[in-house]
């Protein structure tokens, strides 16, 4: 017989068994659902989820191209790029517990800790800003090891100039983004910089690259530049200009060396200069390559071209003599010489540098022909050498000349030129009447050379210019032991803004070639505002020419052509 308590116990047991059965079924259903979900995610939706994950963590990154090198004619590096690292920050990812590490990073980078903290807090909403650019890779490794949220390392390249200040005016420099800013770096920036590439990478949750997946496009390195410059000659010019600046207490100085046979620029130096490896030294005034971008009136250095034009055109005979007495009247105008030279033949017109005699010669040449000679020598137009800011100079069209204009042009006033253009003009005398185009990049030949004077005319004028460097000439200090030297001085009064000329500020100029029997090189020198007592071209610029030309001739092993003169000097001693 069942009691009430036994009936309740049986009901409890039945309910417990039912609940257990329900729980068992529920667990089986959940397990089946999980298995089905796993199959769905890992098999049926694998590609979709994989792509979604890739979109979340895959990122395209630029690959910096290596900037092309600049080398001299002998293959010596003048500008190269070295790999460096830069530190950039995503301010929104910086965490509160990272500030101690940030202080450590500041110490590694030699940055003030408090200023670094303030900067990062100020830029906290920015996702990208640079903390420090172009640091040593070893420092970048130390920063990476700190594992700071939002701090990243980026590879870049830094431009380095092995010769420092020696070639600074010529090469120019790049900015911190490796883009050319001055000189050849600017002129040939597109050629040097190459093309940036791209790659796809996987980043972790902190934005760090954990795997490189693929190259989207290869970075194309920039092209190298092979210059005509000889770094040895460039250094020699740099050194002698620096000494001339110091000794003469001058404002500035420039020098150009050309290959007389093909117009290659072997050196183009200016003082004062700057160090392109130290950006703290940078200022606009020091960047100018004065030998190419500054123009000036060349003074008496153009007189040999007047004599050559008159001989070539038959307007004077080789044995012509000119009367000078210190003052010459041309209409209402007056031409003066420093001294009364009396009667002068053509050689002594150049040796004594007579303004009066060269004026008489110039006035015999028709204005159009006179102008044509100057124009074909390159005066009044740029040399198209491929240098930013190159001066073109100025030459008034002959149709606008007055009578006195042709006279002043004959002794180098009323026409302006750069030192590079003036040196180029002398190729017409050095290479037996052929004037050359100029080049800073190596080439097989000069495609634009053209004859301007007859060979015999150029040789005759060159012989006259040898006497300029003799004891009776104005440039005795330009001689080079063992070699015959031909050249011409110029002492030019500086123009004053508003018109007229200064009475105490001069340009001292000398242009010459050697060996005079068959010139290999042309050297042109200008010293601006010498103030140590001397200012004549033969006193200031000629000695610089002598030292540089002597060094160049020995450097290239050019056979001496003045040994007979040396023997005569020794016998007289």
Per-residue confidence at 197, pLDDT binned at 50, 70, 90? Answer: confident
**Residue 524 contacts residue 241 (beta carbons within 8 Å):** no
Q: 501 - beta bridge partners? A: 495
What CATH number has the domain spanning 231-572? Answer: 3.40.710.10
Residue 300 designated active-site: yes
Half-sphere exposure of 571 (CA within 13 A, CB side): 6
Same CATH topology for 61-226 and 231-572? Answer: no
Place 324 in a pLDDT band, splitting at 50, 70 and 90. very high
How is residue 434 written in tokens?
A: 């052929």
For residue 568, the model assigns a pLDDT of 45
Main-chain dihedrals φ then ψ at residue 2, nearest 5 degrees: -85, 140
Contact 95, 147 (CB under 8 A): no
Res 524 pLDDT > 90: yes
Question: Is the CATH code 3.30.360.10 the one for domain 61-226?
Answer: no
Map out the domains of the chain as residue ranges: 61-226, 231-572
Is the pLDDT at 554 greater than 70? The verdict is yes
Q: Model confidence over 147-165: pLDDT tens digits?
A: 888 888 888 888 999 999 9
Strand boundaries in 332-459, DSSP class E: 333-336, 342-345, 394-395, 415-416, 434-435, 450-451
Question: For the segment 559-573, what is each residue's pLDDT rounded down to a tens digit?
Answer: 998 866 555 444 444
Residues 349, 571: Cα–Cα separation, whole Å: 30
Check whether 205 has a pLDDT greater than 60.
no
Cβ atoms of 304 and 488 closer than 8 Å? yes
Provide the pLDDT confidence category of residue 500 given band limits of 50, 70 and 90. Answer: confident
Confidence (pLDDT) at 196: 76
Asked whether the predicted pLDDT for residue 203 surpasses 70, the reply is no
Query: Cα 14 from chain centroid?
Result: 99
Q: Rounded to an integer, what distance in angstroms lies between the CA atom of residue 508 and that of residue 527?
A: 5
Q: State the DSSP string of 455-479.
A: HHHHHHHHHHHHHHTSTTSS-GGG-
Count Cβ atoms below 10 Å from residue 32 Cβ, excluding itself.
10
* CB neighbours of residue 112 within 10 Å: 11
pLDDT, residue 572, reads 45
Measure CA of the first residue to CA of the last residue in the chain; give whole Å: 161
Tell me what pLDDT residue 573 has: 47
Tens-digit pLDDT profile for residues 447-486: 999 999 999 999 999 999 999 999 888 999 999 999 999 9
C-alpha span between 475 and 469 (Å, rounded): 5
Catalytic residue among 167, 300, 439, 508: 300
**More confidently predicted of 509 and 63:** 509
User: Quick check: pTM over 0.85?
Assistant: no
Q: Cα(241)–Cα(64) distance, rounded to whole angstroms?
A: 39
Tell me: pLDDT of 10 over 50: yes
Phi, psi of 111 (to 5 degrees): -110, 145
Choice between 73 and 194, residue whose per-residue pLDDT is larger? 73
CA angle 169, 170, 176 (to 5 degrees): 75
Phi, psi for residue 134 in degrees, rounded to 5:
55, 60
Q: What is the mean pLDDT of residues 280-284?
A: 68
Whether pLDDT at 52 is above 60: no
What is the chain's mean pLDDT, rounded? 87
Tell me the CA distances in angstroms from 245 to 311, 545, 564, one per residue in order. 38, 14, 34
Stretch 237-241: mean pLDDT = 97
């Amino acid at each position: 017989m069942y009691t009430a308590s036994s009936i309740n116990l049986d009901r409890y047991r039945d309910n417990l068994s039912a609940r257990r059965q329900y729980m068992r079924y529920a667990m089986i259903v959940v397990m089946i659902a999980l298995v089905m979900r796993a199959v769905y995610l890992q098999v049926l939706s694998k590609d979709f989820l994989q792509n979604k994950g890739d979109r979340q963590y895959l990122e395209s990154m630029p690959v910096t191209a290596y900037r092309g090198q600049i080398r001299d004619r002998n293959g010596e590096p003048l500008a190269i790029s070295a790999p460096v690292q830069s530190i950039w920050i995503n301010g929104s990812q910086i965490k509160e517990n990272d500030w101690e590490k940030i202080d450590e990073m500041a110490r590694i980078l030699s940055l003030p800790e408090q200023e670094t903290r303030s900067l990062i807090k100020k830029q906290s909403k920015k996702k990208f800003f640079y903390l420090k650019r172009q640091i040593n890779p070893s420092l970048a490794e130390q920063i990476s090891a700190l594992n700071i949220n939002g701090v990243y390392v980026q590879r870049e390249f830094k431009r380095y100039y092995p010769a420092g200040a020696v070639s600074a005016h010529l090469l120019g420099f790049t900015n911190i983004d490796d883009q050319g800013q001055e000189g050849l770096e600017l002129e040939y920036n597109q050629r040097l910089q190459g093309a940036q590439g791209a790659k796809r990478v996987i980043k972790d949750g902190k934005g760090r690259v954990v795997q490189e997946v693929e190259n989207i496009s290869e970075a194309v390195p920039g092209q190298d530049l092979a210059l005509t410059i000889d770094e040895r000659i460039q250094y020699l010019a740099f050194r002698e200009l620096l000494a001339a600046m110091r000794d003469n207490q001058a404002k500035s100085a420039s020098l150009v060396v050309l290959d007389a046979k093909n117009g290659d620029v072997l050196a183009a130096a200016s003082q004062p200069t700057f160090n392109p490896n130290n950006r703290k030294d940078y200022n606009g005034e020091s960047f100018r390559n004065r030998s190419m971008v500054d123009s000036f009136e060349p003074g008496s250095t153009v007189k040999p071209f007047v004599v050559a034009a008159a001989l070539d055109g038959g307007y004077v005979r080789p044995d012509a003599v000119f009367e000078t007495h210190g003052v010459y009247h041309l209409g209402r105008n007056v031409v003066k010489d420093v001294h009364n030279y009396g009667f002068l033949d053509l050689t002594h017109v150049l040796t004594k540098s007579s303004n009066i005699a060269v004026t008489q010669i110039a006035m015999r040449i028709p204005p159009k022909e006179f102008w044509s000679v100057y124009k074909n020598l390159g005066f009044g137009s740029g040399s198209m050498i491929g240098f930013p800011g190159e001066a073109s100079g100025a030459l008034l069209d002959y149709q606008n000349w007055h009578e006195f204009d042709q006279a002043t042009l004959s002794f180098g006033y009323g026409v302006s030129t750069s030192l590079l253009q003036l040196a180029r003009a002398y190729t017409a005398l050095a290479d037996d009447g052929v004037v050359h185009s100029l080049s800073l990049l190596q080439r097989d030949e000069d495609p634009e050379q053209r004859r301007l004077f007859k060979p015999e005319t150029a040789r005759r004028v060159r012989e006259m210019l040898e006497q300029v460097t003799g004891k009776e000439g104005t440039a005795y200090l330009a001689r080079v032991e063992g070699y015959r030297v031909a050249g011409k001085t110029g002492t030019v009064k500086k123009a004053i803004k508003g018109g007229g000329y200064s009475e105490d500020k001069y340009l001292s100029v000398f242009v010459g070639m050697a060996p005079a029997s068959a010139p290999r090189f042309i050297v042109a020198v200008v010293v601006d505002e010498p103030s140590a007592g001397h200012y004549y071209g033969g006193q200031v610029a000629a000695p610089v020419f002598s030292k540089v030309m002597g060094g160049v001739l020995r450097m290239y092993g050019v056979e001496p052509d003045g040994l007979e003169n040396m023997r005569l000097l020794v016998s007289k001693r």
